[in-house]
Amino acid sequence: MTLSEISRFQPRAWKIISRSFEADRMAGTYLLHGSVGTGRWLTALAIGALLNCEGVVKDDSGLRVPCGECRHCRTIADLNFEGLLFAVPLPPHKSVNERLELTTAFLADKRDNPFKIMKSASSVTIPIEVARQIKKDLARRVGGEFRRIVLFYDMELMRQSSADALLKMIEEPPPDTTIILTSSRLEAILPTILSRSQKIKIDRIPEQVTQSYLAANGYASETRNRLYSRLSDGSIGLALEMLNGVDDDGASSRAVGFMLFKSLISESKPETVSHLNDLISSRNKGEAETLLKFWQSLIRDCAAYAVTGDESDIINVDFSHELIKVSPKFSEPATALSMAGEIKITLADLSLNVHIPGALTRLALKLKANLDLRN
Ligand SMILES: [Zn+2]
């Protein structure tokens, strides 16, 4: 895939950008917002490439896109374009060297897979030192050979004091500079930043496009691709996590666990059971227990939000947007209570070494029955 294919993934957003480009009215600061894994990163790079490409072309849908082949397009895709500056969220670190290593690792992950969902524990922030360094770099004059692109990724993870220090720059970027901010939680962005940037919504990726992306990237089974394309709800990042299975940091198991939970709540009974069979048959006892405990906490979140309507009651913040959507199903307190009871029984069964796939399928049917009964 190259940056010239951007409009397949984000047809609506790219139309806006292409039109501004044609009218020579590109904004100085963009804020790309949307769900994780849907292409905020890719769109940011494509904007950077569009502004620096040596031979912008028209794609099949008639939109202006970067050629993907000139040296600027290629170095931007490889993340080593001279005029490309990054500020990405990092875990706590002790030294400049450590910070560079963490940044390099972050960029390597994104280079391999632009849709990769980056972990965001509560301690992860965009370091103030990076923001300061970027300000300093931008203050130096450039020869005008290219347009500088500054990418602040997951802007909501920047502390307010750091963000305040950047306000002037965001409002009026230095000459030959475009600033691109991304966010998956627009409500967590300072109003002063919102008002100073052009907001562009990054949509969920069409199911067909996700499916063909998965096929083109070596995920061969058509049945699985179709299943994951649908369950991931427009997020290639989530689909990839599901396809890659559980990895050691547990981030993927959360994604898979959540998708199963969603399937449980929103799909018909036969569909839910077939998804479960497809996804959980290989789980061992530890994984099954982790999954069920995760479901318990999701049910708890939905029930709490259904009662209070207060987002801060949600523990699984990485899924809060989705949890709020399904919480009305839990408005009857008895629903959550009986579902939690069923999970408890299954956890006890697992400790007695019952047949795991059977126990999970049985549980799914019982949970589903509980939901259907009260909704
Ligand atoms: Zn180019």
Residues 48 and 146 in one domain: yes
pLDDT interval class at 359 (50, 70, 90):
confident
Q: pLDDT value at position 95?
A: 94
Q: Which of 145, 169, 201 is the last residue of a domain?
A: 201
Q: Does some domain include residue 89?
A: yes
pLDDT interval class at 249 (50, 70, 90):
very low
Q: pLDDT value at position 312?
A: 85
Q: How far is the CA of 105 from the centre of ligand 1 (A)?
A: 26
3-class SS letters over the chain: CCHHHHHHHCHHHHHHHHHHHHCCCCCCEEEEECCCCCCHHHHHHHHHHHHHCCCCEECCCCCEECCCCCHHHHHHHCCCCCCEEEECCECCCCCHHHHHHHHHHHHHHHHHCCCCCCCCCCCCEECHHHHHHHHHHHHCCCCCCCCEEEEECCHHHECHHHHHHHHHHHHCCCCCEEEEEEECCHHHCCHHHHCCCEEEECCCCCHHHHHHHHHHCCCCCHHHHHHHHHHCCCCHHHHHHHHHCCCCCCHHHHHHHHHHHHHHHHCCHHHHHHHHHHHHCCCCHHHHHHHHHHHHHHHHHHHHHHHHCCHHHCCCHHHHHHHHHHHHHHCCHHHHHHHHHHHHHHHHHHHCCCCHHHHHHHHHHHHHHHHHHHC
Tell me, what CATH number does 15's domain have?
3.40.50.300
Range of 356's domain? 245-374
Q: How far is the CA of 43 from the centre of ligand 1 (A)?
A: 15
Residues 20 and 166 in one domain: yes
Residues 170 and 36 in one domain: yes
Q: How far is the CA of 109 from the centre of ligand 1 (A)?
A: 23
Residues 197 and 282 in one domain: no
Residues 161 and 46 in one domain: yes
Q: How far is the CA of 39 from the centre of ligand 1 (A)?
A: 20
Residues 19 and 131 in one domain: yes
Residues 143 and 250 in one domain: no
Q: How far is the CA of 3 from the centre of ligand 1 (A)?
A: 9
With a cut of 80, say whether residue 220 has pLDDT above it.
no
Q: How far is the CA of 50 from the centre of ligand 1 (A)?
A: 7
Q: Does some domain include residue 236?
A: no
Q: How far is the CA of 210 from the centre of ligand 1 (A)?
A: 25
Q: What pLDDT, in 10s, does the model give residues 80-91? A: 999 999 999 999
Q: How far is the CA of 74 from the centre of ligand 1 (A)?
A: 7
With a cut of 90, say whether residue 375 has pLDDT above it.
no
Average pLDDT of the residues in 187-192: 90
Q: How far is the CA of 33 from the centre of ligand 1 (A)?
A: 25
pLDDT interval class at 247 (50, 70, 90):
very low
Residues 188 and 254 in one domain: no
Residues 193 and 256 in one domain: no
Q: What pLDDT, in 10s, does the model give residues 315-342? A: 887 788 889 999 999 988 899 999 999 9
Tell me, what CATH number does 272's domain have?
1.20.272
Residues 255 and 135 in one domain: no
Residues 61 and 9 in one domain: yes
Average pLDDT of the residues in 234-253: 70
Number of domains in the chain: 2
Q: pLDDT value at position 248?
A: 44
Q: How far is the CA of 88 from the centre of ligand 1 (A)?
A: 25
Q: Does some domain include residue 330?
A: yes
Lowest mean pLDDT among 45-54, 77-86, 283-292: 283-292
Q: How far is the CA of 57 from the centre of ligand 1 (A)?
A: 8
Q: How far is the CA of 4 from the centre of ligand 1 (A)?
A: 8
354 or 48: whose pLDDT is higher?
48
Taking all residues of the chain, what is their mean pLDDT, rounded to a whole number?
88
